[in-house]
Amino acid sequence: MVTKEFTITKTYEITDKEIEDIRDNVFSWMGLRATKAQVIVFLNTIDKPAVFENIKEEIDTVTREMIMDEFAMKLIGKEWPIGADSKEIQNQFEKEFNAAAKTAGYKLDN
């Protein structure tokens, strides 16, 4: 038996328009005001091709949620809460997330 593992590398080019869409739609949805540079730094930390494939296709609800989960995991080690989570969980997440975002240099909308 022969087993071979292949790693396929694909390059994704995210346009200035897509970066602006992420900043204006996704980051604002998270309650953050981010600079273009902050969005670029964050995008460079994502190692899941599916996120980039979705960005290239369309920044819709699925893509927004993927980006929000990635950002929250990198910031506080937790995924973004879902609607079925209790208010207590959502409030605790928001408190931790906002504190970490401020510490990381993001401006809060609220």
pLDDT, one tens digit for every residue, the chain (110 residues) = 565 665 666 788 899 999 999 999 999 999 999 999 999 999 999 888 889 889 989 889 999 999 999 999 999 999 999 989 899 999 999 999 999 999 999 999 86
Q: For residue 64, which of 11, 33, 21, 107 has the smallest C-alpha distance?
A: 21
Taking the model in full, what pTM does it have?
A: 0.84
Q: Give how far Cα 1 sits from Cα of 4, 18, 51, 96, Å.
A: 10, 46, 35, 51
CA-CA distance, 81 to 88, in Å (whole number)? 11
Q: What residue ranges do the domains of the chain occupy?
A: 16-108
Q: How many helices (H) and strands (E) does the chain have?
A: 6, 2
